[in-house]
Amino acid sequence: MEDNSRIIRTEYSEEMQKSFIDYAMSVIIARALPDVRDGLKPVQRRTLYDMHELGIRYDRPYRKSARIVGDTMGKYHPHGDSSIYDSLVVMSQDFKKGMPLIDGHGNFGNIEGDGAAAMRYTEARLQKITQEAFLADLDKDVVDFMPNFDETEKEPTVLPVKIPNFLVNGSEGIAVGMATSTPPHNLGEVIDAMKAYMLDENITTRELMRYIKGPDFPTGGIVTNKDELLEIYETGTGKIKIRGKVEFERSKGGKINVVITEIPYPMIGMNISKFLMDVAALAESKKTQDIVDISNQSSKEGIRIVIELRKDADPENFVNLLYKKTRLEDTFGVNMLAIYNGRPETLGLKAVLKAVVDFQYEVATRKYTNLLAREMDRREVQEGLIKACNVIDLIIEILRGSKDRAMAKDCLVNGKVEGIKFKSKESKIMAAQLMFSEKQANAILEMRLYKLIGLEIEALINEHEETMANIYRYEDILARRDSMAQVIMNELEEIKREYGRRRRTSIENAQEAVYKEKEIEEMEIMFLMDRFGYAKTIDMATYERNREAAEGENKYIFKCKNTGKICLFTDIGQLHTIKVMDLPFGKFRDKGVPIDNVSNYSSDRERIVFLTSQTELNLCRVLFVTAQSMMKVVDGGEFDVSKRTVASTKLQDGDSIVSIVCLHEQKHVVLQTQEGYFLRFALEEVPEKKKGAVGVRGMKLGDKDLVEGVYYTQNAMEASIQYKSRNLVLNSLKLGRRDTKGVKVRA
């Protein structure tokens, strides 16, 4: 019979809720978010601690990254080697971290987004500051340790970091339902702010910002919203606007080079190549015609992206275009979320410093309590040895007269003299008065004879004096908060002196970038498009010189303005607009560009019915005729639209446009159907409608008959067409009325 004693009956929704909350908290606490005290995520903390345990110090040889990753995974972080190696790589990259914690040897990636080599090829060791400011006091019981995942090892719950690493190196991570994003800061500025907070815990965020000017990104750049930083640091959230740094150089040919020497922090990685593509796209889309060439000359020495401009270009205006249209100006979203007192919290600048300072006091208290206990033990032993040296003859007599170590120790500690042979009665009386402690007795019994040399005794006395001085100092540190604060600040000042560096990022209030498009001198030019759909524009003089060839080779020819637009109407009722500036302007024999490439028009699904300039449309009324004989007149101004593609008219199901013309001197319209019916009537019978209307019926059609030809006549001018095998004079057709059947014309 099956044992059901282990089956737990529970509500499915409750179990799912509990399981998801447990999972979410595991991700938040144990993986994605840093602890505000040491500024490290668990994987970073475990990697550094493992390297410390393996003895991979800054002054020792590099070790294979694979060894470090494997050891960390096997002992402390059972989540896969890629996350550990990625963490190790990032901690070594000086373009991501304000202060790298690991010294990498080999290919650890670069600022342009190339990844690191496989861990079997690279080597690493701790940086000096990591050894001295992150791991130095682990042997002094300054932080709590906990069992690792399989309870075979112990790992620290937090590292005894002496600096506000959460601010110095920043942090980025995505948890469940929350994310952290803290920018890096300047080490020296953060230490100064921490000292200022220790001297006055009521200091305001505004006063702290006298020391911390703002973020200090390893890539440099310029923070442009200085006035918004106070609110960001008070709340722990906000957006920092940052620009790249640009310099101007003049090349040999007199052309101006725009040289980008520093990039915004969010641009690091693949965004550099995207920036280069965005700049190239500005030239291709004709947003600017100032660019001659662009090249990425970046190297190990730093970023250098060179954009060569034309001689007559305005470099300041061009840089403003880059700020507006590319990632040369970007935003860093700040959300200073960290684990504080075991739970995730968004912290302002002052709250971060308070958490770090409180932690420093806690670490210092544990450190000096431990050191004091060690010194007290040393003092006890030293005092015992000094006392022993004063009665060394008696002690030798006790040792020689005792049967074993236990008897000699009992005499030294408790004064028991039974069973010990003494040379004199006086020695026995003196031995009975001895009262050494257990530690002192053990030290005396283990003391070597050379310690009785005069200089050794003198050294022992000096050592005792040093121990007493240490005890006095440690007691003072533990008893007085001011003394402890001074010790902490002295350590901070020493770290700043050795590892501080100048600020890389400038902080200022910059005006919003304003790009002024270069005013183009307006002039009339000729639009040409051949029967294959290749379009171009040429100046009027070139057209006049090649008029005959132009009219023979091109399907569409008309005047337009170089600042205007071309309007392209198709049979499916679409209007596509094309900026004349997007068309190539040049020589008569240039091939041009396919009209599909500069508009949304697709020759695969629609056919061009009418092509003209926006200028021409604005001056005329437009007549629409469809295959189902629907007609209307529309004011051309209605087609002056900003969108690239709009509906030019409304069509009934299965209908399509047969003809569109601008009305000027036309008096009559002639409709021709597929079955040979012709109807001529006055254009004044066609009403004017809006472009969204269907229109009115121009001619009654037989079943399955459709309009296939549309012609126009004037009163005095004879117009004729070739219809089948005869010449048909359109003016000779009987003038009818709109919405009639017309007459059948036989071949």
How many whole angstroms separate alpha carbon 354 and alpha carbon 194?
A: 9
Is there a contact between 695 and 661 (Cβ–Cβ < 8 Å)? no
A 10 A CB-CB count for 127 gives 22
The verdict on whether 121 is a catalytic residue reads yes
Distance between CA 464 and CA 240 in Å, rounded? 57
User: What is the distance between the terminal CA atoms of the chain, rounded to a whole angstrom?
Assistant: 100
CA–CA distances in Å: residue 389 to residues 65, 112, 127: 54, 71, 47
Residue 521 half-sphere exposure toward CB, CA atoms < 13 A: 0
Report the C-alpha gap between 110 and 90 in whole angstroms. Answer: 11
Q: What is the DSSP letter of 29?
A: I
Burial classification of residue 597, based on how many CB atoms lie within 10 Å of its CB (0-12 exposed, 13-18 middle, 19 or more buried): exposed
Q: Cα dist. 301→109, 261, 262, 298 in Å?
A: 15, 10, 12, 8
Both structure tokens of 407: 């008897």
Residue 523 CA to residue 539 CA, distance in Å, equals 9
Task: Check 121, 265, 450, 556 and give the catalytic one.
Answer: 121
Question: Are 166 and 356 in contact, with CB atoms under 8 Å apart?
Answer: yes
CB count within 10 Å of CB 694 equals 17
Which strand (E) or helix (H) includes residue 227?
none
Q: Is 78 helix (H, G, I), strand (E, B) or coil?
A: coil
CA angle, 256 then 257 then 260, to 5°? 145
* CB neighbour class for 48 (10 Å; exposed up to 12, middle 13-18, buried from 19): buried
Residue 692 to residues 540, 573, 578, 639, 655, Cα–Cα distance (Å) = 36, 10, 21, 11, 15
Distance CA 221, CA 300 (A): 18
Strand order in 574-579's β-sheet? 608-613, 565-570, 574-579, 645-647
Q: Which amino acid is at 215?
A: P
* Size (the chain), residues: 747
Neighbours of 141 (CB within 10 A): 13
The number of angstroms, rounded, from the C-alpha of 282 to the middle of its chain's C-alpha atoms is 23
Query: Hey, which residues are catalytic here?
Result: 121
